[in-house]
């Protein structure tokens, strides 16, 4: 047990910094300080004198393990699918057979699918760099391996079939492709609009949480019905991509993504309800009126 003398106005972040001076191997991002061994981690901005403690406080330490920045994680997991998909699109050697090396598909939908897939991940990379504001600076290093396996693996699986020399276009031809492209574009615009609205909700360098509301942008009006419309639009984009390509791996990727985003959306929805007593009662986590 280590004893420190700190001012009552000291924040948890300052205590973490003080702890690091005597234990350099545990930098602040690795530390979790709690009032109870099984309790929740205290926030960096929490002030000691506002916590339910007396003149002497006992804080319990937990090592969160090696950390990596969210920006690094996102850039890595999004750059991978972009690069991997293009390898299959250009049919580099050792993928489909020598006679198909660097050949091009004769189907328009294949080229359109490549444009849509590339646009999606370029958009994600740019949003990571210039739009997103993260409430937490880091995440466990081990997560990057799990996330990259998911994104990179599915990208390779989808790209292999969509760009395969024996790939056949959708059953209903250009009409199906046009409908799917419309869904994809609308949902991509909606997703971007929600990300911009969420960014404007939190000033740079702030961890302030507010209730998100619709803006003048019609794409944000989905906030009237769901707590996480960015996930709603994200799922919609992949449904559009699945209809466009009529590819089973894309449908499975959409289903897995929807399942995970539903879990995240329910968690955020519960968090909003706990934190804000005046939270709009009509909102559902991800699907209006249903889920």
Specify whether the backbone of 40 is left (phi greater than 0), alpha (psi in -120 to 50) or beta: beta
Q: What is the pLDDT of residues 77-87, one digit of tens each?
A: 999 999 999 99
Confidence at residue 187, expressed as pLDDT on a 0 to 100 scale: 98
Confidence at residue 1, expressed as pLDDT on a 0 to 100 scale: 56
Do residues 249 and 154 make contact, with C-beta atoms less than 8 angstroms apart? yes
Q: Which residue has the tokens 């047990």?
A: 1
Q: Which residues contact 203 (CB under 8 A, 6 or more apart)?
A: none
- The segment with the largest mean pLDDT, out of 17-31, 125-139, 227-241, is 227-241
What gap in Å lies between CA 212 and CA 205, rounded to an integer?
18
Do residues 250 and 238 make contact, with C-beta atoms less than 8 angstroms apart? yes
For residue 135, give both structure tokens: 């409430």
pLDDT band at 25; cut points 50, 70, 90: confident
Q: Identify the structural domains of the chain with CATH numbers, from first to last.
A: 12-65 (3.10.20.90), 68-275 (no CATH)
> What mean pLDDT is predicted for residues 39-45?
72
Which pTM does this prediction carry?
A: 0.85
SS (H, E, C) the chain: CCCCCCCCCCEHHHHHHHHHHHCCCCCHHHEEEECCCCCCCCCCCCEHHHCCCCCCCCCEEEECCCEEEHHHHHHHHHHHHHHHHHHHHCCCCCCCCHHHCCCCCCCHHHHHHHHHHHHHHHHHHHHHHHCCCCCCCEEECHHHHHHHHHHHHHHHHHHHHHCCCCCCCCCCHHHHHHHHHHHHHHHHHHHHHHHHHHHHHCCCCCCCCCCCCCCCCHHHHHHHCECCHHHHHHHHHHHHHHHHHCCHHHHHHHHHHHHHHHHHHHHHHHHHHHHCCCCCCCCECCCCCCC
Above pLDDT 70, what percent of the chain?
Answer: 91
Number of other CB atoms surrounding residue 75 within 10 Å: 15
Confidence at residue 45, expressed as pLDDT on a 0 to 100 scale: 67
For residue 6, give both structure tokens: 């700190």
Q: What is the pLDDT of residues 171-214, one digit of tens each?
A: 999 999 999 999 999 999 999 999 999 998 877 666 678 899 99
């Amino acid at each position: 047990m280590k004893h420190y003398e700190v001012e009552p106005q000291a924040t948890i972040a300052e205590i973490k910094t003080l702890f690091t001076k005597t234990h350099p191997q545990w930098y602040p991002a690795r530390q979790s300080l709690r009032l109870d061994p099984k309790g929740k981690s205290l926030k960096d901005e929490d002030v000691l004198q506002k916590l339910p403690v007396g003149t002497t406080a006992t804080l319990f330490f937990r090592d969160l393990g090696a950390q990596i920045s969210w920006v690094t994680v996102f850039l890595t997991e999004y750059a991978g699918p972009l690069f991997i998909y293009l390898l299959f699109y250009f049919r580099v050697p050792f993928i489909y057979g020598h006679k198909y090396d660097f050949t091009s598909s004769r189907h328009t939908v294949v080229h359109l699918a490549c444009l849509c897939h590339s646009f999606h991940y370029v958009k994600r990379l740019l949003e990571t760099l210039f739009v997103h504001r993260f409430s937490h600076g880091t995440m466990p290093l081990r997560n990057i391996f799990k996330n990259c396996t998911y994104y990179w693996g599915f990208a390779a699986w989808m790209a292999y079939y969509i760009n395969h020399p024996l790939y056949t276009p959708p059953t209903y031809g250009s009409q199906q492709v046009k409908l799917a492209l419309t869904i994809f574009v609308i949902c991509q615009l909606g997703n971007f609009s929600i990300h911009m609205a969420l960014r404007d909700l939190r000033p740079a360098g702030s961890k302030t949480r507010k209730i998100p509301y619709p803006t003048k942008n019609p794409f944000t009006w989905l906030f009237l019905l769901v707590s996480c419309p960015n996930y709603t639009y994200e799922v919609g984009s992949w449904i559009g991509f699945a209809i466009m390509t009529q590819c089973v791996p894309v449908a499975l990727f959409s289903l897995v993504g929807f399942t995970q985003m539903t879990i995240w959306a329910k968690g955020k929805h519960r968090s909003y309800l706990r934190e804000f007593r005046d939270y709009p009662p009509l909102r559902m986590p991800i699907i209006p009126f249903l889920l």
